[in-house]
Amino acid sequence: MIQQDCKAVQLIAAMKPAGLSPAIVAQMQLLVDKYAMSPRIMAMEPGDSHTGKFLGFLAKIPLSEQKQPMSRDGSPVTQLEEKFLMRFPAGERRRQAAEILELGRHSFILRDDDNIYLNRFNNAVEICVDELKRRVSDLTSDNITDFSDSELAEKLLDFEFTPSAKNTRIESCQKNTTARLVRKRQLLGQPAGPGFASGLARILRSPEDIFEVKNGEIIVCDAIGPEMTLVVPLAAGIVERRGGMLIHGAIIAREYGIPCITGIQSATEDINNGDQLSVDGYLGIFSVRALKAK
């Protein structure tokens, strides 16, 4: 619907969310809700970084080039479904077969939606943190105290809470993130999606990073979550730090015929955005063909 609305496409490309029709905003909200993405995306305020990244992604996504779900033999799922139903005599038997197939699909959804609910819980925490930031927005940087998660939860329930700089406790610090001088060029993991692929690396370390994904890149991440499903069809290959053949990302990758490797513990540490990668989804071998040019 969004891509078919010329005015909406122009407003999205121009980063002007205020001009979008209520129907388009409702469609965007449905998309955010479906994949349990961060509620910050729908701030819909000019200059908001979260909304801006989301709009930028919608403006550039090549929907016409998106992969369609494939069967194991490489044929579209719709053809596989027709082939399955044709095995049954026309009439009541075929109708029953179609119902059983639909029940099977729904049962899979019931088993695989736990990550969606976990993300919604995390989103609720995110809303609470934003509310705390709003309450202290009038303070200067000299007045801000860095609290632990348990202290934040306690203070959120205290409506008369006013942070003070007295007895300030710093519970976190910035680590030395100097890049390693030596990086591995080949890594071995668990083959989770058959096929070969090559392309530039796209490291996903935060929910907002998904909107930076470009068509044909190799996604490298901790694990594909439900909120990332939106960009999976754009990927040429997927490399996940944890998991095996039955995690969410591996299942989605196989549905789209995308080579996938899981269980590479140091993937997000040894790889940088822009590195040229190759993925062997048959053997689980992941190679760095060339480092990003300085």
Per-residue pLDDT of the chain (294 residues; tens, 9 = 90+): 555 666 666 666 666 766 777 887 787 777 777 766 776 766 666 666 666 677 777 766 654 445 555 555 555 667 878 888 888 988 888 888 888 888 776 665 555 556 666 777 777 777 787 777 777 665 555 555 566 666 666 766 665 655 554 444 444 545 444 433 345 577 888 999 999 999 999 999 887 788 889 889 999 999 888 778 888 888 999 999 988 888 888 888 888 889 999 998 888 888 889 999 999 999 998 888 776 655
User: Which residues partner with 17 through β-bridges?
Assistant: none
What is the model's pTM?
0.53
Radius of gyration in angstroms for the set of CA atoms belonging to the chain, rounded to a whole number: 23
**Nearest in space to 57 (alpha carbons), one of 34, 37, 73:** 37
To which H or E segment does residue 242 belong? none
Confirm or reject CATH 3.40.50.2300 for domain 186-288, answering yes or no: no
CA torsion 257→203→216→246, rounded to 10°?
A: 0
Residue 205 burial by Cβ neighbours in a 10 Å radius (0-12, 13-18, 19+): exposed
- Domain boundaries in the chain? 6-60, 115-156, 186-288
Taking the C-alpha atoms of residue 294 and residue 289, their distance in angstroms, rounded to an integer, is: 15
